[in-house]
Structure 1
């Protein structure tokens, strides 16, 4: 989610005071304020180290999210943004994507973390209630199911209204979708802090079926609140990020439910809690976790080898850069018995913080820009690549999770880095101003 801010001194002071007093995350207060440009140093030339830009796709300006699909020997990138979808062929030269198709839907809102069904060649495109000049109070939200079986001609197979619409994520191999966010609508319960998750059955992509009852309620110390994003790990556990932290769920198979203290079958409509909970306020004061990643499989994490860790980003914007959102790394130890589902304001449960990393004051940063919040990231091995809006794209060595270390950075003077993706040895960066930047780490 992009930040929104009124940049007069009085407005900033008032907003900051309100956030501190209420404990609300800055990211949850964006609703209908106009977008404003990030501040940069006068004549700022940008900064680059340890990475080589090998390509750029300027006609993808406005890019928010990217995905990659394989058609036999053909490699294709699908880019989403407020323009709709654009499709590029990477086969001949992955550093020089060739435009081959487009689905024009001007007026969409962000389309963060758009996901694809690689087998059925489908794209699931969220309609945020702010799309097409709507608003969070009364705007319509939903899901477009787009067929890209023929990538030159993306086609809308169906559209279905959903009570949420900021992000839509695949679970159960894209047989079902979980859709969450943004701030609650006027016709939703007054005590909600934001929209939870609605489940959509897309086994028949031409006739999606939305289940009427939401899930992932009471996630913020017992309060139903803003679910921002869902990421599924290699074991099939769906990790739900938003206000109140990160919680993981089994969506299939027989598992012990630590909340109900019994074994039961997990489904997308009735998932089984696995682990997770709130992130320590010393690591993420806002408690608003934007997105997450749970590494699975053998890892050499030094002293943390064998520990179960979850990586997450805090999205938060305060005046200046020092208080903005960070990358957090937390231990899941101690959260397997449903502690994160029993947390209350009186008896809060927080995962143990292992490490954090903030762009503030780091080499390569623009000291004048205050557009510094953590955003989407991608992890391959021990190298994590992450977007920090106007502070660009950062590459971190996380072989020691307690001490993430910057090893490279790419910050153009006009950076608006939203989401990076590892693909075929390159980092593809969806930059809202520049389109798609294609980067290669230097030896």
Structure 2
């Protein structure tokens, strides 16, 4: 492993049926255990929607820090309620509903399987029927509190992340301090063979919980993500789940410092009830980036993106960006490490289709601050685009940040996105919270160019409320966005530069587990 040194500068389950009727099914996970988190001294008490990892890290933005990002008097680029480039149409929005409707119930990540979208929320997940993408319908809603509830799907299995300390691993759990040994955080596994009534199958406790997770099944004929042949019950196949979490504390029995590792969970696809933690590999034996007052010290990873068919993975680990070899799924090995003084918090990563480039994101302010303005500038809270050399080394090429100045009541920073599968091109669509979403071409990694965008304007013009797109992904011809407060959005982009993408069809898509599309 080499380190490229920093660049200069900076069992109750509630199901909402499509017909609107509420039904309750009693579902108890096999091997149910106990209990999880809320700290006594909460530095983020004014940010009730934050996950426990963010609370442990103090990953909220104090008022004086927000004031330093203030650009009062700067002319805004999007002064109307909703604007977009001329090639974008918003087709449909389904508002949050039921137990997911409150401001504190944040919408989170998205995953796709066949004609269904699975949308995470801090209180559970929603299944949307995309038979007619322009008119999606709510098929079911699973109430299972435990932020962030990031979701991934594989065949008939759905994996859900819990990173808020709970009283037990059931869907009826309540918040419980991580200082209590019996508290619980980790991943939950559901059977979604009938997406109208998902069934809770098992749970696995993991060190410091699961802020996010990444799937990496063993290679199968036809390539990962294209040849879904029946779901759970793929005999002899194991689904590996890489679990990311961060910010340990000496007062947390199950989340002790140092946290230089990730969790590896193994799920036998034909016996998902036997899911178990099989390894906790140390990624930073030297402790990782110690931090410099601006860049966060490394104490775990925020997000990992696997490219299973190529046996590689990229990690965004607070103060470090890394590449890993995952040819041995249970024993990932770090092969490359980079740092950048402009990055406050390495948040996520996306490969291009050839895995010759990777886009890392910097979540300056933890997603709760107005960083899209001239005061913060174009190189912080941005994407860092890197080439991957033939020797597997990361070479910095450029930054990309949305060019529109946002209001001081809009949290805005680089967040989750996915590739748009255009032959011979590297194009990505990405969420920017209240900055909306942006589609950009990074085929020339030194000169990325925006080709489409959408921005709704401030959720609240008077005060900063966490809102905007959490995840924005391309799936089979449409853009889907899980808007934190407003709901599930569907968009269409009509542009000759991406029309070729409509020839690529995925049976399944988890953007943190990238499939290779045929060019």
What is the TM-score when the length of structure 2 is the normalising length? 0.64
In structure 1, what is the equivalent of residue 343 of structure 2? 285
- 1:270 Cα deviation from its structure 2 partner: 1.6
Deviations 1:49-91 (A, max 9, x none): 2311011121366421111112xxxx11111111212112111
**For residues 101 and 52 of structure 1, what CA distance do their matches in structure 2 show?**
26
Structure 1 unaligned spans of 5+: 8-24, 253-266, 298-306, 338-350
Cα deviation code 1:325-369 (max 9, x no counterpart)? 1111012338638xxxxxxxxxxxxx431011123xx23x42434
CA distance in 1, matches of 2:213, 2:178: 16
Q: Quote the residue 1:89 is aligned against.
A: 129
Once the two structures are TM-superposed, the CA of residue 6 in structure 1 deviates from its matched residue by 8.2
Partner of 2:483: 431
Contact 1:244 1:278 in 2 (8 A): no
8 Å contact kept, 2:160–2:189:
yes
Task: Map 1:412-423 to 2 at 5 A.
Answer: 412-413=456-457, 414=459, 416-423=468-475
Q: Which residue of 1 aligns with 2:351?
A: 294
Q: Do 1:280 and 1:353's aligned partners in 2 also have CA atoms closer than 8 Å? A: no
Partners of 1:27 and 1:427 in 2: CA distance: 34
After TM superposition, the structure 1 = structure 2 runs for residues 49-88 of structure 1, keeping only pairs within 5 Å, are 49=85, 50-59=87-96, 62-70=106-114, 75-88=115-128
How far did 1:249 drift? 2.5
Is 1:209–2:280 an aligned residue pair? Answer: no
CA deviation map 1:219-244 (0-9, x unaligned): 62488622111211241312222123
* Equivalent in the alignment of 2:242: 178
Q: Relative to structure 1, is the Cα distance of residues 215 and 195 closer, same or farther in structure 2, using a 3 angstrom cutoff?
A: closer
Cα distance per residue 1:239-262 (max 9 Å; x no partner): 22212333232323xxxxxxxxxx
1:398 to 442, 449, 464: 442
Contact preservation (8 Å) 2:127, 2:141:
yes
Q: 2:396 aligns with which of 337, 345, 353?
A: 353
In structure 2, relative to structure 1, the CA distance for the partners of 1:335 and 1:291 (3 Å cut) is: farther
- Partners of 1:53 and 1:319 lie apart in 2 by 24
Is the 1:245–1:279 contact (alpha carbons within 8 Å) kept by the matching residues of 2? yes
**Which of 43, 47, 71 is 2:83 aligned to?**
47
How many residues are paired up?
A: 369
Contact 1:198–1:215 (CA under 8 A) maintained in structure 2: no
The TM-score normalised by the length of structure 1 is: 0.74
Q: Equivalent of 2:212, from 156, 164, 167?
A: 167
CA positional deviation for 1:136 = 5.9
Residues in 2 aligned to 1:32 and 1:53: alpha-carbon distance in whole angstroms: 32
Residue 440 in 1 paired to residue 496 in 2?
Answer: no
- 8 Å contact 2:206–2:277 — kept in the other structure? yes
Out of 140, 144, 147, the position equivalent to 2:191 is 147
> What SS does the aligned partner of 1:206 have?
helix
Aligned equivalent of 2:21: none
**Cα shift readout 1:266-303 (whole Å, capped 9, x = no counterpart):** x2222244x4311332xx332x2211112233xxxxxx
In the alignment, structure 1 residue 29 sits paired with structure 2 residue 80: no
Separation in 2 of the partners of 1:189 and 1:149? 34
Equivalent residue, structure 1, for 2:357: 309
SS at match of 1:395: strand
Contact 1:47 1:411 in 2 (8 A): yes
Aligned to 2:326: 251
Match of 1:228 in 2: 302
Say whether residues 1:379 and 2:379 are aligned partners.
no
Any conservation in 2 of the 1:158–1:207 contact (CA below 8 Å)? yes
Contact 1:276–1:332 (CA under 8 A) maintained in structure 2: no
- Quick one: distance in 2 between partners of 1:27 and 1:142? 16
C-alpha distance 29-195 of structure 1, shift in aligned 2 (>3 A): farther
Unaligned runs of 5+ in 2: 1-42, 47-53, 167-173, 219-237, 291-296, 460-466, 496-519
The answer to whether residue 157 in structure 2 is matched with residue 122 in structure 1 is: yes
Distance 1:356 1:5, change over 3 A: farther
Matched, 1:109 2:150: no
